[in-house]
Amino acid sequence: MTSEPSVFSRIVAGDIEVPRLYEDDQCIVIRDRSPQAPTHLLIIPHKPLVNLSDTEVADKPLLGHLMWVAAEVARRQGLEGFRLVVNNGRAAGQTVFHLHIHLLAQREMREQGLAD
């Protein structure tokens, strides 16, 4: 990892222009540029947390807010079913080291071992 701002930090700062589906004082929501489902959104906090493991007790309100935003954006998009994914670390597939939540919808989401 590098100490330079991540692509998500640059998007949040407005250095890279991308359409924002949602924005408030804590986060933004954008479409993933390499979608893995017909609807693939990214919920990105303004705070440049590296990954979930790097969060602290003081980040609990932000983490809850990100979950609420995911649900609110899904409601606005008319999505009944969706999956939220957070990759934590390179071994889990994280490629941008700025915490973000993937919202995936509009395709069958069945994986062995993950059913309720």
Which sequence spans correspond to the domains of the chain?
A: 7-105
pTM of the model: 0.90
Q: List, in sequence order, the alpha helices (H) in the chain.
A: 7-13, 60-77
Are 79 and 39 in contact, with CB atoms under 8 Å apart?
A: yes
Instruction: Divide the 116 residues of the chain into consecutive groups of 10 and give the mean pLDDT of each group.
Output: 82 96 98 95 97 96 98 96 95 95 85 48
pLDDT of residue 109: 65
Residues known to be catalytic? 100
User: Is 54 strand, coil or helix?
Assistant: helix
Cα(94)–Cα(15) distance, rounded to whole angstroms? Answer: 22
Q: Which pLDDT score is estimated for 104?
A: 97
pLDDT, position 113: 47
User: CA–CA separation, 1 vs 4, rounded Å?
Assistant: 9
In the CATH scheme, what is the homologous superfamily, with its name and number, of domain 7-105? HIT-like (3.30.428.10)
The pLDDT score that the predictor gives to residue 110 is: 65
Instruction: Quote the pLDDT of residue 115.
Output: 44
